[in-house]
Structure 1
């Protein structure tokens, strides 16, 4: 009988709870051994439900949690905030050094300590997977890390931020910026603070991570040039629409400009894969001179989408020693 893969989940907000829901559908293949929340943690017996938060104990060192549970995977669903940064980094480094694989949707520590995490994984003989941090359910990380090997990709362009695409389409339809943002928030597409979407920061972050996977760039030192969506953008969106084009916030990286990511507002034409998406869809186009352009498109931006991306990473890690086609 195959032993279940034992997991520790760190972070029990919207993404963490969605991960537990998705995880429960996998049956006996996986076992959630512990959950670490904000200051408290719970240990779960095989097959048991998550206990009420009032019964959780004070959080101990991550090393103790991993040792007590004999976990082989740490799943991180912590917010990518300054407050959670130190914890995310400490837990990931400790897990990797001890031989525990890490699956994370948290961006902050992988942006700031890319090489440190890589060294920790090398020391422990462990692995780190970041699908949930690079576009939720859109499998761009898998493309960059595995599917494009040997393809000679030298450029990629992306609209990895569904909120900005939605807002630009609203502007093209005649809405003002404030109205477009409110509509995105009303539909649950935009966060309460959309500044990272409008500034291009979120798009640049995702492209930095993909460039790190694709070309082994040090994500922590990649420079960014970003053009924001602001009060002057509505006129450009309307002008593009009048010409049969669509304004898109296009994030890109190229081997011709090493260690640089740009985010530009571009009027794209029909036939361009970035024209076809409708907010909040996302898309990424990898240019491979001999293999041709390879596009990945779609993927839900939501806590469930990020949770499913993490679950996919966990399943791929746990199934890496299987035989045959799978």
Structure 2
């Protein structure tokens, strides 16, 4: 008996846009996949770019060249995937939109951890992908290493998922646990930063907007809602929350910032501070952990939790998305 060996796949060049902490972590982690013929060939920084040779390191920034038009870079490299690790900032937003739409229209897949353009141009990105016959993957934008985007897109397909309930922001969970133990809000935020859980600006975490953003993206995948049109209602973590968290702890409960979306309230995402008990899956998450529950009336609730909130976690999510895209035509169980 003979067995057929799979033929070697052609190399898949990647263009990496953005080289901050997430981009740097991605470059490190994707390096382990070079035996699969997957490698970053160009890194595009804020105003300059560099080309990487096989097995070469990243040159000193002083030797990088001025940023070229993305179309020229894609043509020159024959890139199969554009990987976006741009910050979700107003300054980077126009570039994130332009690069993603350009790549998708040209038949280049996009893997992104950038959220801003997903929130404003969801349908435009979708149409660009249809035009180019390409795909876009957003795991790094929805929960870092927690594979919630895969569940929303494929894992609960056909299970009639009716609602989503989530604690998708690790910083808020960490802070709420610290203040429930008697610490002040300022002390809790300072500790979250010291542990590398929170960034310098925690406004999106404490206001509920980051949790709402992730829930909006998942709702778009679940129910084909136009993410740009989803309305949000949020409840913030502030000084008044300290007593709420302490009172919840005294009653054997924990306070959690819970994002929710449901078919009962189309095109709406809420973030509320909820007192959850030991029977709730969100009671048991600790530190920077995240958790999400997909409510499927006939199949039952499906909960996933864990996943590191860090540049490494987001980078690994993007590596996973890249592998799923470039190996999407594999046979057998793959």
Give TM-score scaled by structure 2 length: 0.96
Q: Does 1:117 align with 2:122?
A: no
Equivalent residues of 1:163, 1:184 under 8 A apart: yes
Distance apart, 1:122 and its partner CA: 0.5
Q: Does 1:53 align with 2:61?
A: yes
Q: Structure 2: how far apart are the matches of 1:143 and 1:43?
A: 35
Residue matched to 1:73 = 81
Q: Does 1:3 align with 2:21?
A: no
Helix, strand or coil at the partner of 2:269? strand
Distance apart, 1:46 and its partner CA: 2.6
Q: Does 1:192 align with 2:184?
A: no
Give TM-score scaled by structure 1 length: 0.99
Distance apart, 1:31 and its partner CA: 2.1
CA RMSD between the two structures? 0.7
Distance apart, 1:28 and its partner CA: 2.7
Helix, strand or coil at the partner of 1:81? coil
Distance apart, 1:44 and its partner CA: 1.9
Gap regions ≥5 residues in structure 1: none
Any idea what the Cα deviations from partners look like across 1:146-200, whole Å, max 9, x if unmatched?
0000011101110000000011001110111111111111111111111101100
Q: Does 1:27 align with 2:34?
A: yes
Any idea what the Cα deviations from partners look like across 1:270-311, whole Å, max 9, x if unmatched?
111011101210000111000000001000000000000000
Return structure 1 stretches of 4+ with deviation > 3 angstroms.
Answer: none
Equivalent residues of 1:12, 1:35 under 8 A apart: yes
Q: Structure 2: how far apart are the matches of 1:117 and 1:193?
A: 28
Residue matched to 2:211 = 203
Helix, strand or coil at the partner of 1:50? coil
Distance apart, 1:4 and its partner CA: 1.5
Helix, strand or coil at the partner of 1:297? strand
- Correspondent of 2:262 among 254, 258, 276: 254
Taking the TM superposition and a 5 Å limit, the aligned residue runs for 1:172-321 are 172-321=180-329
Helix, strand or coil at the partner of 1:79? coil
Gap regions ≥5 residues in structure 2: 1-7
Residue matched to 2:4 = none
Equivalent residues of 1:171, 1:177 under 8 A apart: yes
Equivalent residues of 1:8, 1:32 under 8 A apart: yes
- Correspondent of 1:128 among 136, 143, 150: 136
Distance apart, 1:219 and its partner CA: 0.3
Equivalent residues of 1:32, 1:46 under 8 A apart: no
Q: Does 1:14 align with 2:14?
A: no
Any idea what the Cα deviations from partners look like across 1:41-61, whole Å, max 9, x if unmatched?
111223322222111110111
Helix, strand or coil at the partner of 1:171? helix
Equivalent residues of 1:31, 1:47 under 8 A apart: no
Aligned residue pairs total 326
